[in-house]
Structure 1
Amino acid sequence: MAGRLHQRLEIVGRDQGTGLPGRLRQRPRLRQTEPTWQAPAGRPRTPSTRAVTRWILTRPDALAESDRLQLKAVLAGCPELDALTEHVRSFAHTLTQLQGHQLPAWIEAATSTDLPSLQRFARHLEGDLDAVIAGLSQPWNSGVVEGHVNRIKMLKRQMFGRAGFELLRKRVLLYS
């Protein structure tokens, strides 16, 4: 009994050196040469969520013909997505054409759908309806001011813990 145990320990001891990697190299490896799943012949690949979102958010006349056909096929298979696409495009038209006066009608149409996320978005717009309508009607925006605020915050983050207010003031005034 002790002899067999001693022989086994010698074998294990040798395996801790070079014996074990050599034995592992000799084992056959399973290599995958072909993908396990392939789309059936004649059937196009299912588009990604990101691609469908991009197609929905792009103007229909700006889409490539192949993208337009794929989007049409996707929308034909999902009526909820088709309804959502119509609402998104209607809102985008209101947004880009500065037609804020159409927003209450859009909110009413969006809240009457069976799409909970769209209903929630429309209800949040109703929370501050006058400001949203003004933002969608006026040609002015606060983009320049927001850019300056963003720049000042970036300078403040860079200077945090390094110097006092006077140096921060000089950098803000110098880089204006």
Structure 2
Amino acid sequence: MNWRRARDQVLTAGWLVVAWGLLWGEFTWGNLVGGALVAVVVLAVFPLPRVTFDGRVRPLALAHLVARFVVELVVASVQVAWAALRPGPWPRNAIIAVRLRVRTDLNLTLTAELVSLVPGTLIVDVDRESGTLYAHVFDVDGDLAADRARILALETRLVRALGSAAELRQLSSTHHTEPGGTP
């Protein structure tokens, strides 16, 4: 196994451990060790296709990504709780298509994971060819453009934190158009 493949496996295992901790709702030593064991078993039993990380970790942008993610997590949790408890009609839901600007497998996966971890949104399908995420959004108020913009802003923060120079150029040079032709 070459150095890049080993690095990619370690990064993948790290993300699996983080996802494991988020699923349990806390990061205890037991959850971290359990997550590491699950990550090793998952990577051994279900080998992933080669997904390379050509990016660079930018600590300030990564801190911004994490801080904004935590804020979105808290705000969305309160909104979902309020929607469940408030009197009145049932909340309206929708499925929206969001075409990402950086269409690498890693970006599609990480963006989809972060979107799905926020209460009230869930990725229901991914079109790898076009780089489109299909997201179920909860309690929509008719402004689906705001939900699309929120997902694209998350993609932007993710690429700024972990993307390559080419991916950063893609973000700034790509004019964004949704499936169906609407900007």
TM-score with structure 1 length normalisation? Answer: 0.23
Determine which structure has the larger strand proportion and give its number: 2
Task: Point out the structure with max Rg over C-alpha.
Answer: 1
Determine which structure has the larger helix proportion and give its number: 1
User: Larger RCO: Structure 1 or Structure 2 (Cα < 8 Å, ≥ 6 residues apart)?
Assistant: 2
